[in-house]
């Protein structure tokens, strides 16, 4: 049995799989913003799944950051109470077994590459479009992490082929740079662009509703978002040339996003035909927890 835990910024989910089938109900609890209580919560979820099934499992955990290979300490986590903590060692001692920890965007990508929208494709680039923008790379159903453990982190590259207007509107990012892809393609980035265009301040779902009702500012906001996402992904294709790109995160639910982006890729991709498929995820917000379970091979 493979137990997967998705340690999110606000909620933590757990699932147990056996032979690719869910054998214990998916559990969801609020993430405690405290390190010691987080360890307790994860140990409690593992104990509950093992008690429900009467089996012991391998444990894989997806986190919003990475455990640095050299030091064993968490870095790049927006759940700041994890930063600098020996999460993996502490949980291994607590659970009395080796565990595997990976970045949550990598878990999403692995899940979609193994039995989701990216199934059957050799190289899959997984994209998270949410309150932040992240990504991961799976090659033959294995995560490619890289020595700095940042492979796929395209959200902190500058928006490619910026217009003069975008250059003028570029905002500082929490990472210390200005004009990052994340500042344009996150949910808050889209909402800000809507105001910049002259629209009223609205949430992303409200902008979608307004666009469906014919609001010209909302329509223009969505077209600009699609155009920027296409440019961002064209740069990924020029570098990685993946067989498939799988879109995830809340913003991936914008209407017809994969189709709209596919149609815009050829302007920037260095090839007269673009064979890369842009697809919507298959497992929705379960992909993170499924991919964490897949960090260990199935029996
Ligand atoms: Zn940044």
CA of 16 to the centre of ligand 1 (A): 34
* pLDDT averaged over every residue in the chain: 95
CA of 53 to the centre of ligand 1 (A): 43
Tokens linked to 142: 């294995």
3-state secondary structure of 280: strand
* Residue 97: how many other CB atoms lie within 10 Å: 13
Query: How far apart (Å, rounded) are the C-alpha atoms in residues 58 and 97?
Result: 8
Calculate mean pLDDT across residues 201-217.
95
Calculate mean pLDDT across residues 75-102.
94
**Which residues are CB-neighbours of 254 under 8 A, at least 6 positions away?**
204, 208, 222, 225, 226
CA of 154 to the centre of ligand 1 (A): 9
pLDDT at residue 225 is higher than 70: yes
| Secondary structure element (H or E) that encloses residue 126, with its range | strand 123-129
Is 75 within 8 Å of 18 (Cβ atoms)?
no
Give the count of alpha carbons within 13 A of 192, CB side only: 13
Is 135 within 8 Å of 128 (Cβ atoms)?
yes
CA of 49 to the centre of ligand 1 (A): 37
CA of 83 to the centre of ligand 1 (A): 18
| Edge-first strand listing for the sheet containing 21-30 | 21-30, 11-18, 2-7, 58-63, 100-103
Q: What percent of the chain clears pLDDT 70, i.e. is strictly above it?
A: 100
CA of 143 to the centre of ligand 1 (A): 23
Calculate mean pLDDT across residues 46-65.
96
> Mind listing the pLDDT tens digit for each residue in 173-196?
988 999 999 999 999 999 999 999
pLDDT of residue 146: 96
Is 169 within 8 Å of 184 (Cβ atoms)?
no
CA of 176 to the centre of ligand 1 (A): 6
CA of 173 to the centre of ligand 1 (A): 5
Decide the pairing of beta strands 74-75 and 66-67.
Answer: antiparallel
**pTM of the full predicted structure?**
0.94
Is 166 within 8 Å of 179 (Cβ atoms)?
yes
pLDDT at residue 299 is higher than 70: no
CA of 106 to the centre of ligand 1 (A): 18
> Mind listing the pLDDT tens digit for each residue in 191-205?
999 999 999 999 999
pLDDT band of residue 238 (cuts 50, 70, 90) is very high
pLDDT of residue 152: 96
- Give bridge partners of residue 228 from the DSSP assignment: none
CA of 171 to the centre of ligand 1 (A): 10
CA of 181 to the centre of ligand 1 (A): 7
CA of 243 to the centre of ligand 1 (A): 26
pLDDT of residue 298: 81
């Amino acid at each position: 049995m493979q137990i997967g835990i998705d340690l999110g910024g606000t909620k933590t989910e757990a699932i147990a799989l056996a032979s690719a089938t869910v054998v214990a109900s998916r559990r969801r609890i609020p993430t405690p913003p405290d390190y010691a209580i987080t360890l307790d919560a994860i140990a409690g979820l593992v104990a509950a799944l093992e008690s429900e099934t009467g089996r012991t499992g391998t444990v894989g955990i997806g986190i919003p950051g990475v455990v640095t290979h050299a030091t064993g300490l968490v870095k790049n986590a927006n759940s700041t109470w994890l930063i600098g903590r020996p999460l993996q060692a502490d949980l291994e001692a607590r659970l009395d077994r080796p565990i595997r920890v990976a970045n949550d965007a990598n878990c999403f990508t692995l899940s979609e590459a193994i039995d989701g929208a990216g199934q059957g494709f050799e190289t899959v680039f997984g994209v998270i479009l949410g309150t932040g923008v992240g990504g991961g790379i799976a090659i033959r159903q294995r995560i490619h992490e890289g020595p700095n453990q940042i492979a796929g982190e395209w959200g902190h590259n500058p928006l490619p082929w910026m217009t003069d207007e975008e250059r003028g509107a570029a905002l500082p990012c929490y990472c210390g740079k200005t004009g990052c892809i994340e500042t344009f393609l996150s949910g808050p980035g889209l909402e800000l662009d809507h105001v910049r265009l002259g629209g009223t301040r609205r949430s992303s779902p409200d902008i979608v509703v307004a666009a469906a009702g014919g609001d010209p500012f909302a329509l223009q906001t969505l077209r600009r978002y699609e155009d920027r996402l296409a440019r961002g992904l064209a740069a990924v294709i020029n570098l990685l040339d993946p067989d498939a790109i799988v879109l995830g995160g809340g913003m991936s639910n914008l209407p017809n996003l994969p189709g709209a982006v596919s149609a815009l890729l050829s302007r920037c991709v260095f090839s007269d035909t673009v064979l890369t498929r842009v697809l919507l995820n298959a497992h929705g917000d379960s992909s993170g927890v499924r991919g964490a379970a897949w960090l260990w091979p199935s029996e």
